[in-house]
Amino acid sequence: MRSYTLEICCYNASDVKIAAENGAHRVELCAGRHEGGTTPSPGSILHAMETSSIQTYPIIRPRGGDFLYSDAEFEIMKKDILFCKNHNVPGVVFGILTQEGIIDRMRMAILKELAGTMDVTMHRAIDMSNDLLKNLEIVHSLGIRRVLSSGGMPTAIEGIAMLEKMVQTTNPKISVMAGSGVNEHNIERFWNIGIREFHSSASTLLPSRMNYRNPQSAMGKEEKEFFNFQADGEKIKKMSFLLEQLAKQ
């Protein structure tokens, strides 16, 4: 049995296919790259599952920004989870905080119950919480067995000391999955502190294939209409190979 998991953050079905072909074991499917990931469309979810056998876990996040949600946003999250359950999606990713930066136990419990037998990952909302170790206990009490974290820092390397504390505190109750800036150059450092699940965007920036480009208009503030991010098969393949070698030691 494999003792580790490589998860790739994907933003379209093409990325999912690249991840599957280059050694990833699971994908977190998102929309809204520039917002840090928002709920993908139903069509995106279904197409990813129809075109690849890799485990696909959609993020359930109705908007970018903080993780304090209105009643309407919470209702949307519930509907999105029910959609996933009704279409046999294997897992979902979500997280909610209170105004005080504590995991919202009541709302999280409702979403966890709605998820039924789907696997649940608590995402990096925990990195925005007021106390990572105390909030890990709340995650555990909810019956969630995986948390994605950068150790409360912008990147997982910067938060590696906290990630190690999280592993020591929760193992084997919860799997701490390192994410944010995880790549082939630093993945061994996370392995060495006991991390066995790894989350990476492993992406590259490609120019648009558009021939005509209107120089006077832009669809977004960041003006990235003529560049596209895509999962990088070589980066994924390198991480997969490194993990395979580490597991043999």
Summarize pLDDT for 143-165 with one digit per residue, the tens: 999 999 999 999 999 999 999 99
Summarize pLDDT for 177-226 with one digit per residue, the tens: 999 999 999 999 999 999 999 999 998 888 888 888 777 777 665 556 77
Strands (E), 123-209: 146-149, 175-179, 197-200, 203-207
Average pLDDT over the chain, rounded to an integer: 94
- 160 neighbors 151 (Cβ within 8 angstroms): yes
- The DSSP bridge pattern shows strands 5-10 and 197-200 to be parallel
Query: Would you identify the CATH topology of the domain 5-120+179-206+223-248?
Result: TIM Barrel (3.20.20)
Taking CA 237 as the corner, what is the angle to CA 34 and CA 159, rounded to the nearest 5 degrees?
50
pTM, 2 dp: 0.92
Q: Where are the domains of the chain?
A: 5-120+179-206+223-248
**pLDDT tens per residue, the chain (249 residues)?**
679 999 999 999 899 999 999 999 999 999 998 899 999 999 999 999 998 989 999 999 999 999 999 999 999 999 999 999 999 999 999 999 999 999 999 999 999 999 999 999 999 999 999 999 999 999 999 999 999 999 999 999 999 999 999 999 987 889 999 999 999 999 999 999 999 999 999 988 888 888 887 777 776 655 567 777 889 999 999 999 999 999 998
Residue 18's alpha-carbon distances to 72, 226, 234, 237, in angstroms, are 35, 21, 10, 10
* Percent of the chain topping pLDDT 90: 82
Predicted local distance difference test score (pLDDT) of residue 211: 84
Taking CA 233 as the corner, what is the angle to CA 229 and CA 236, rounded to the nearest 5 degrees?
105
Predicted local distance difference test score (pLDDT) of residue 26: 97
Predicted local distance difference test score (pLDDT) of residue 132: 97
Of 124, 43, 119, nearest to 81 (Cα)? 119
